[in-house]
Structure 1
Amino acid sequence: MSGVRSALRLIDAALAPEPLNAQTVTLNAPKADVQWLDLALQLCSASVLTGWGLLVLFLLAGDGIRMSALRAGDWFRGAGLAALIGVPGLVFYLGAVHVGFSRQVVPTTLDAVWWQAPVLLVWSFANAFAEETVVVFWLVTRLRQLGWSTPAVIGASALLRGSYHLYQGFSAGLGNIVMGIVFAWFFTRTRRVWPLIVAHFAIDAVAFVGYSTLVEPLGLAGLFGS
């Protein structure tokens, strides 16, 4: 349903009087006006997201399927995947905003308080852990058990990933489909999830923390369409 809801939000945005590239969407917004309450709500929400990933690991473990432990090489593979996806993805996003195929994505509007960066890192991990365990590890495993071919499995995983990012714009859906193809293909070849989590975490952490500590304070947000 996340994909359907995201698609409906994109349709609503596309039908609005102002063009897509004149609209903004915020990824990490305050949840309360009181700082300590906002911090508590941020951590609770991130914990729920992480919990979905833990639930998937529990369900797969019941069938004797366990995620391999984190290894040193996973950090290097993850960094490589992050660069492969992140750098072209940023260029694609900037081009899409310029031609009107994407909304302006604001990584965070959290207050500049001491816990801002740590919470953004927590969100980066929660997003990465939940998405890669559910959309890749669980979905690919279950579809293979149902007898789906490798191309079909990769396509299904990629389309699901792209669908629930559509609220950001057409380009976000397409870009995440490409990311989904690469990540699902990598998993079918290596059966390793941690490099995907590391890569996803790195992409989000650079976007979230980099925006809050460099882009916004230096007044460079306009360069990124926000």
Structure 2
Amino acid sequence: MTAREVWRSWARPARRDVAPLDPRERRLLRTELVVVFAVTLGLSGVRSLVSLLDALASPVRLDERRVAIDESLARNPWADLAAQLASSFALVAWGALGLYLLVRAGAGPRAVGLDGRRPGRDALAAVGLAALIGIPGLGLYLASRALGLNTTVIPSLLGEQWWTVPVLIVSACANAWAEEVLVVGYLLHGLRRLGVSENRALAISAVLRGSYHLYQGFGGGLGNLLMGLVFGRYWQRTGRLWPLVGAHALLDVVAFVGSALLRGALPFLPA
């Protein structure tokens, strides 16, 4: 198969039949989607957009501003540990909510690719996706910073505690779980049940993913939108969600832990 044929295959989503909904079920599902994202990542997207607009209105240039993803939440180390774990637990609960609603709708974990049928292949796919997204993503971040279109993103500002690295790993996995279950498994499955075309659903999912990263600047929003297109299409073609969770977790672990351990050692990691 040539590269062109591979591209055409992935650009054209697979057709998957779903049971039609009656008008009442359609209204309920639309309402459910709006409510879920109004209290989770959709709300995060609105806040992120407001943060970007505020930054653009500031006299300080965008590339001179710094934003941190993980930072201390309390002055006392034990209180900070508890707050960090509570924050990660909230993200796990968001993902669990999406999975629970899928089960209530008659679509269990297997329907969205969260079963254990192929752990080896899923793990290999996760590593491949992480490399596919991570290497170009770093280049896009550096380019957007150089052009003044992005803030300086500091993945971690946590202090040096015995629990710092484990907490960062937990945070990375919680972020990956919440985002992939909600923005890919739950949202794309729901839009498919509503009869939304695969390409339009993919665009909605990707724009949502990009929106709640806008606090990082235009580069952060664009980079995550592109990641959403790749991840969403992968799920539409394969029906497997674990590789996306795994790839996202790998990317965040490298970013969070690497930032904590190598801060100031590399030119693109601020001191």
Asked whether the 8 Å contact 1:21–1:100 carries over to 2, the reply is yes
Task: Note the C-alpha offset of 1:220.
Answer: 2.3
Q: After TM superposition, list the pairs within 5 Å mapping 1:158-177 onto structure 2.
A: 158-177=206-225
Contact residue 165 and residue 172 of structure 1 kept, 8 A: yes
2:194 to 142, 146, 159: 146
TM-score (norm 1): 0.96
Residue identity matched to 2:265: L
Structure 1 unaligned segments of length 5 or more: list them: none
Q: CA deviation at 1:91?
A: 0.8
Q: Which amino acid aligns with 2:70?
A: N
What secondary structure is seen at the aligned counterpart in 1 of 2:268? helix
Normalising by structure 2, report the TM-score.
0.80
Query: Are 2:234 and 1:192 equivalent residues in the alignment?
Result: no
1:69 has 2:115 as partner: yes
Q: What do the CA deviations read for 1:95-144 (whole angstroms, capped 9, x no partner)?
A: 11111000000111101111000000000000000000000000000000
1:105 maps to 153
Among 70, 75, 79, the alignment partner of 1:28 is 70
In 1, are the aligned partners of 2:48 and 2:213 still within 8 Å (CA)? Answer: yes
Matched, 1:50 2:92: yes
Correspondence for 1:3: 45
Amino acid across the alignment from 1:31: L
Distance in 2 of aligned mates of 1:171 and 1:25? 13
Residue 27 of structure 2 aligns with which residue? none
RMSD of aligned residue pairs (Cα, Å)? 1.1
Identical counterparts, % of pairs? 45
Pick from 83, 86, 91 the counterpart of residue 41 of structure 1: 83
Give CA-to-partner distance per residue, 1:32-91, whole Å, 9 cap, x none.
Answer: 111011001100110011001011111101122122324121110000000000110001
Aligned residues of 1:94 and 1:225 also touching (Cα < 8 A):
no
Q: In 2, are the aligned partners of 1:120 and 1:208 still within 8 Å (CA)?
A: yes
1:209: how far off? Answer: 0.3
Structure 2: distance between partners of 1:3 and 1:223: 26
Question: What residue number does 2:14 align with?
Answer: none
Tell me the residue number matched to 1:220.
265
Rounded to whole Å, the distance in 2 between the matches of 1:48 and 1:135 is 16
Aligned 8 A contact 2:56 2:62 in 1:
yes
Equivalent pairs, count: 223
